[in-house]
Amino acid sequence: MTLPAVIEDARTSGARVLVLSPHLDDAVLSCGALLGSLGGCEITVLTLFTACTAGPHTRAARSFLRQCSHPDAATLFTARRDEDRDVVERLGARPEHAGHADALFRRRDVPEAVGRVLPELAHRYPTYRFDIARGRISGGDRALRAGLARDLAERAGEVDLLLAPLGVGRHVDHLITRDLGAEWTRTPVVHYADFPYSLTHEPDPTFVRRAGLRPHVVDDGLDAKEQLIRGYRTQVDALFPDGVVPRAPETYWAA
H or E element in which residue 240 lies: none
**Coil, strand or helix at 131:** coil
pLDDT tens readout for residues 122-133: 999 999 999 999
pLDDT tens readout for residues 193-217: 999 999 999 999 999 999 999 999 9
State the average pLDDT over residues 44-58.
97
pLDDT of residue 115: 84
pLDDT of residue 113: 85
State the average pLDDT over residues 97-104.
98
Contact 177, 10 (CB under 8 A): no
**CB proximity list for 15: less than 8 A, separation 6 or greater:** 9, 41, 42, 160, 161
Contact 115, 107 (CB under 8 A): yes
**CB proximity list for 237: less than 8 A, separation 6 or greater:** 67, 69, 243
Fill in the DSSP letter of residue 206. Answer: H
pLDDT tens readout for residues 219-247: 988 989 999 999 999 999 999 999 999 99
Quickly state the pLDDT bin for 1 (edges 50, 70, 90): low
Helices 172-182 and 142-153: crossing angle in degrees, nearest 10, is 40
pLDDT of residue 20: 98
Q: Is the pTM of this model over 0.85?
A: yes
In the chain, where the domains are located:
5-254
Task: Report the mean per-residue pLDDT for the chain.
Answer: 96
For the chain, how many residues are written?
255
Indicate the fold that domain 5-254 takes in CATH.
Answer: Rossmann fold (3.40.50)
129-168-137 Cα angle (round to 5): 50
pLDDT tens readout for residues 150-189: 999 999 999 999 999 999 999 999 999 999 999 999 999 9
